[in-house]
Amino acid sequence: MTFSYSALREIQKKEMEGSAIANLDGDFYKKVADLLVLKKKEAMENQTIIAIKEFENIRKTIISIQAKREEKIVLMALRGEIEGKGLTPEELEFLKRFSETVVEMRTAVKGLWNPNDGGPVAAIRKVRIVKNVDQYMGVDKNVYGPFKQGEELLLPKEEAEWLLHAKMAEKIE
């Protein structure tokens, strides 16, 4: 599918009006980058106000779509949603990394206000996943996973211990 300004406006409308993230093809950002290159070339060659305005409008629309999607991805991570249906590969990576950061931050802060945990360092364990793990609800009511074999993670002590005991992970020093 090639994109036009009107197709991008439809995507922008879906993102702005709905709370759910719109489904995009995995190569969305590559396709819009190609469109921008084409429209910039046309604007430079034609030197018409219409061509220049079209290029600028497309660029602004893409920036708007990306910003709204980033906002929704951050909210997904904060809610513990890591499924990421309809996300591009770049967005999935962002969701994964941001989710990990949220877990690390929550664990560190919990260690500060819960002295029985031994503080933030003792409250986090680094593990390597040895078997694929489906998404699950942890004892702290946060959602964890899915994890893939070979992933290295920083997890709250309770979650790491559970995975170690179930032989789904190994401890990393």
pLDDT of residue 60: 96
The reported pLDDT for the residue numbered 2 is: 65
pLDDT, tens digit, 9 for 90 and up, residues 74-108:
988 888 777 778 899 999 999 988 888 888 887 77
Domain boundary among 36, 54, 78: 78
User: Does residue 84 belong to any structural domain of this protein?
Assistant: no
Using alpha carbons only, how large is the chain's radius of gyration in Å?
A: 21
Reduced 3-state DSSP string for 119-165 = HHHHCEEEEEECCCECCEECCCCCEECCECCCCEEEEEHHHHHHHHH
Tokens, residue 83:
């499924």
Tell me how many domains the chain contains: 2
Nearest 5°: the CA angle 165, 127, 114 is 80
Whether 11 and 73 share a structural domain: yes
How many CA atoms within 13 Å lie on the side-chain side of 58?
24
Please report which confidence band the pLDDT of residue 146 belongs to, taking 50, 70 and 90 as the band edges: confident
Q: Which domain holds residue 63?
A: 5-78
Asked if the structure places residue 87 within a domain, the reply is no
Domain boundary among 27, 55, 78: 78
> What mean pLDDT is reported for the chain?
85
Confidence (pLDDT) at 53: 93
Instruction: Give the separation between CA 98 and CA 104, rounded to whole angstroms.
Output: 10
| pLDDT for 14 | 93
| Pair 96, 153 in one domain | yes
Chain centroid offset of residue 83 CA: 9
Q: What is the CATH number of the domain that holds 143?
A: 3.40.5.50
Q: Please report how the helices 28-46 and 49-78 are oriented relative to each other, as an axis angle in degrees rounded to 10.
A: 160
Between 49 and 141, the higher pLDDT residue: 49
Are 72 and 100 members of one domain? no
The reply to whether 42 and 102 lie within a common domain is no
Q: Which residues have CB under 8 Å from 169's CB, separation 6+? A: 127, 128, 129, 130, 133, 153, 160, 163
- Higher-scoring residue by pLDDT: 43, 124: 43
Residues 71 and 110 in one domain: no
Same domain, 60 and 112: no
